[in-house]
């Protein structure tokens, strides 16, 4: 499935910016390419910015990477839930609480990258096993409709968004 096959009713308007950061290629291609690009990006970050904050309340690159991992886990769970049980209702999650309790800065960047790779590999396999019909299944997450496919495209666009923020504000 490609982005052009999504309907605006597949996701809350909040996610539109994430979804449309993606290229017009298949979801599986985006997930695979995103893994390679994100790993290369974080591997090349200068070590002196791994725990840098450009403002007191902002996250460090380590926290951002673990935030990407956590968010992918949440959206992959949403995709799995709606794939298996369309119409299910799931609550939202507070990303700031997740980051505050992640202790990302206590971890080495290479460990975070390995965790990212393991998680993305799992996400790829999850979506690879879904038919086009299953990708259209929907449920309710954070108070709005979310299709299985949209959850995958949000994972990819969310990742691009945060890598762009690091490029613009940290480098």
What are the E-state strand segments in 18-137?
Answer: 89-90
CATH assignment at residue 23: 1.20.120.450
DSSP 108-163: -HHHHHHHHHHHHHHHHHHHHT--HHHHT-EEEETTEEEEHHHHHHHHHHHHHHHH
Give Rg (Cα) of the chain.
16
| Residue 72 confidence (pLDDT) | 98
- 1 pLDDT band, cuts 50/70/90, is very high
Q: Would you say the pTM of this structure is higher than 0.95?
A: yes
- 166 pLDDT band, cuts 50/70/90, is very high
| Residue 144 confidence (pLDDT) | 97
Tell me the pLDDT tens digit for each residue of 14-67.
Answer: 999 999 999 999 999 999 999 999 999 999 999 999 999 999 999 999 999 999
Tell me the pLDDT tens digit for each residue of 114-153.
Answer: 999 999 999 999 999 999 999 999 999 999 999 999 999 9
157 closest CA partner among 17, 8, 28? 17
SS3 8: helix
SS3 23: coil
Domain count, the chain: 1
Average pLDDT, the chain: 97
Residue 165 lies in a domain: no
Residue 160 lies in a domain: no
Residue 157 lies in a domain: no
Give the rounded percent of residues in the chain with a pLDDT score beyond 90.
100
Residue 63 lies in a domain: yes
Residue 45 lies in a domain: yes
Residue 169 lies in a domain: no
Give the rounded percent of residues in the chain with a pLDDT score beyond 70.
100
Residue 20 lies in a domain: yes
Domain that holds residue 125: 3-151
d(CA 54, CA 170): 7
| Residue 154 confidence (pLDDT) | 98
Residue 159 lies in a domain: no
Q: Is the dihedral of CA 17, 20, 22, 26 positive or negative?
A: positive
């Amino acid at each position: 499935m490609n982005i052009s096959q999504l309907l605006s009713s597949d996701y809350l308007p909040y996610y539109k910016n994430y979804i449309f950061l993606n290229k017009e290629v298949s979801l599986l291609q985006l997930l695979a390419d995103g893994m390679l690009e994100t790993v290369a990006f974080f591997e090349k970050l200068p070590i002196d910015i791994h725990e840098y904050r450009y403002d007191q309340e902002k996250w460090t690159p380590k926290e951002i990477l673990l935030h990407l991992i956590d968010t992918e886990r949440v959206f992959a769970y949403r995709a799995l839930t709606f794939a298996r049980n369309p119409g299910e209702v799931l609550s939202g999650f507070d990303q700031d609480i997740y980051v505050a309790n992640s202790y990302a800065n206590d971890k080495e960047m290479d460990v975070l990258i390995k965790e990212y790779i393991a998680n993305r590999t799992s996400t790829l396999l999850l979506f690879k096993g879904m038919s086009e019909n299953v990708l259209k299944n929907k449920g309710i997450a954070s108070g709005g409709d979310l299709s299985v496919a949209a959850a995958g495209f949000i994972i990819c666009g969310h990742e691009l968004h945060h890598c762009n923020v690091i490029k613009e504000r940290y480098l």
